[in-house]
Amino acid sequence: MRDENASHRLKRRLLKLAHAAGLFAAMTIICMPGLWIVLSSLRPTVEIMAKPPAWIPQELSLDAYVAMFSGVGKGGIPVLEYFRNSLIISVTSTVVAIAVGMAGGYAFARYRFRGKSGLFLGLMLTRTVPGIALSLPLFFVYARLGIIDTHFGLIMAYVALNVPFTIWLIDGFFRQVPKDLAEAAQIDGCTRWQAFWQVEFPLAGPGIASAGIFAFLTSWNEFALASQLTRSVNSKTLPVGLLDYTAEFTIDWRGMCALAVVMIIPALTLTFIVQKHLVSGLTSGAVKG
């Protein structure tokens, strides 16, 4: 009996160890290429491209960052403008996509109406259009409307890009929230609107948070449409700015890595903050139990 207990405990401990090791290995693989980029931004090119490789950095410096901010024409790029554009466009389009997605997701999750599955499928299928079939006609339309190279144009495009996705995701999460909860709240005297905000919305929190992260990251990193619809510092975003480090025959890999780090940090920070809401969604989910 005691033996069995001991072996059971051993097994559990081993399992735990394996779990930790597995987790560590997975995280290493995930982070390695990223850390390599961070490292590349700090090392002189001769070390990055060395053969035999220099595994341990010999020389670290912030030269690439200093150069980046030192102004156009002096080895720099208009990074502040790009950053501003990226931020305005990504945040606005995310907020709008989430709002539109919440409305749509709620409609699909809570109402029955004719042609529902058809409409749902139709919305999703708008995403099957390859960007290339879209980019030139979109350019035609935008050129006629005069919204090439504006924040508005890109925000519209990104909202459209993200809406099917947010609707779907949020719909999935609203479905997980038991209907009787909201109904109970209404019986308790809440309006439908209040019931939504006070009961269903908090419970669907994790879904909305993850839809938000996805939408934000998609807009933050999108390249193909941005390269077609933007032109100058008025609206060029960071991913398009990456190409400032390429010339016809040369590429400044270190500079590109430095800009990549500048791009990644805000996204990482935001993700880290939003994580909390993923968790709080869970805890409030436990409340009902």
Partner 1 sequence: MSATAREEILEQRSIRLPRLPAPVLLLMPAIVVLAAVVIVPLCLSLYSSFTPFRLTKPETFFVFIGLRNYANLLADWDFWAAFGRTVLLLTVALNLEMLLGLGLALMVEKATRGQRILRTLLMFPMMFSPILVGFQFKFMFNDNIGLVNNALQALGITGTAIPWLIEGHLAFIAILVAEIWSATAVFAILILAGLLAMPKEPLEAARVDGCTPWQTFRYVTWPFIMPFAYIAMTIRSLDVARAYDIVKIMTDGGPAKRTELLWTLISRTAYSDAKMGLANAMAYVSILLSILFTVYFFRKLAAARTQIGAEW
Partner 2 sequence: MNRLLSGVSAGVLLIAVGSSAALAADLPGKFEGVTIDAKLIGGQQYEALYTRIGEWEKLTGAKVNVLSKKNHFELDKEIKSDIASGSVTWCVGSNHSSFAPQYPGIYTDLSKLLPKEEIDAFVQANIKASTLDGKLVMLPRAQFDVSALYYQKSLYQDEAKKKAYKEKYGEDLTPPDTWDEVAKQAEFFANPPDFYGTQYAGKEEAINGRFYEMLVAEGGEYLDKDGKPAFNSEAGVRALDWFVNLYKAKAVPAGTTNYLWDDLGQGFASGTVALNLDWPGWASFFNDPKSSKVAGNVGVKVQPKGSSGTRTGWSGHHGFSVTENCANKEAAASLVWWLTNEDSQKLEAANGPLPTRTAVWEWDIEQAKADPYKTEVLQAFQEAAQHAFPVPQTAEWIEISNAVYPELQAAILGDKTSKQALDDAAAKATGILQEAGKL
Residues that bind partner 2 (CB under 8 A): 44-46, 49-51, 72-77, 136, 139-140, 143-144, 149, 227-228, 231-233, 236, 240, 243-253, 255
Q: Do 159 and 100 form a contact (C-beta atoms < 8 A)?
A: yes
Nearer to partner 1, 78 or 222 (CB): 222
Residue 90 Cβ, how far from partner 2 at the closest point, in Å? 21
Q: Does 260 bind partner 1 (CB under 8 A)?
A: yes
8 A C-beta contact, residue 183 and residue 200: no
Residues 276 and 113: their CA atoms lie apart, in Å, by 36
Q: Is 143 in the site for partner 1 (CB under 8 A)?
A: no
Q: Tokens 């090791």 identify what position?
A: 21
**Does the footprint of partner 1 cover residue 285 (CB under 8 A)?**
yes
Per the CB < 8 A criterion, the answer to whether 43 and 59 are in contact is yes
The reply on whether position 44 binds partner 1 by CB under 8 A is: no
Residue 14 contacts partner 1 per CB under 8 A = no
CB atoms within 10 A of CB 177: 21
Q: How far is the CB of 10 from partner 1 (least distance, A)?
A: 17
286 interacts with partner 1 by CB under 8 A: yes
The footprint of partner 1 on residues 196-225 (CB under 8 A) is: 206-207, 210, 213-214, 217, 220-225
What's the rounded Cα separation, in Å, for the pair 210 and 94? 11
Task: Return d(Cα 170, Cα 215) in angstroms, integer.
Answer: 12
Q: Which residues contact 219 (CB under 8 A, 6 or more apart)?
A: 89, 90, 93, 94, 158, 161, 162
Query: Which one of partner 1, partner 2, none interacts with residue 255, CB within 5 to 8 A by kind?
Result: partner 2
* Residues counted in the chain: 289
Q: 116: helix, coil or strand?
A: helix
Contact segment (CB under 8 A) with partner 1 among 5-13, 49-57, 64-72, 74-82 equals: 49-57
Site for partner 1 (CB under 8 A): which residue of 68, 147, 148, 157?
157
Taking CB under 8 A as the criterion, which residues in 169-188 touch partner 1?
169, 172-173, 175-176
Q: Is 57 in the site for partner 1 (CB under 8 A)?
A: no
CA 58 to chain centre: 34
CA distance linking residue 235 with residue 140, whole number of Å: 18
Here's the x/- map for partner 1, 117-136, by CB under 8 A: it reads as x-x-x-xxxxxxxxxxxx-x
CA atoms within 13 A of residue 189's CA, in its CB half-sphere: 0
User: In the complex, what is the shortest distance from the CB of residue 135 to partner 2, in angstroms, rounded to a whole number?
Assistant: 9
CB of 49 to partner 2, least distance (A): 5
| Nearest CB to partner 2, comparing residues 50 and 184 | 50
Q: Are 204 and 177 in contact (CB under 8 A)?
A: yes
Query: On the CB side of 96, how many CA atoms lie within 13 Å of its CA?
Result: 17
Nearer to partner 2, 149 or 160 (CB): 149
Kindly tell me which residue out of 68, 167, 258, 262 binds partner 1, with binding defined by CB under 8 A. 167
Of residues 58 through 77, those in contact with partner 1 by CB under 8 A are: none
Q: CB of residue 96 vs partner 1: minimum separation in angstroms?
A: 8
| CA dist., res. 181 & res. 178, Å (int) | 6
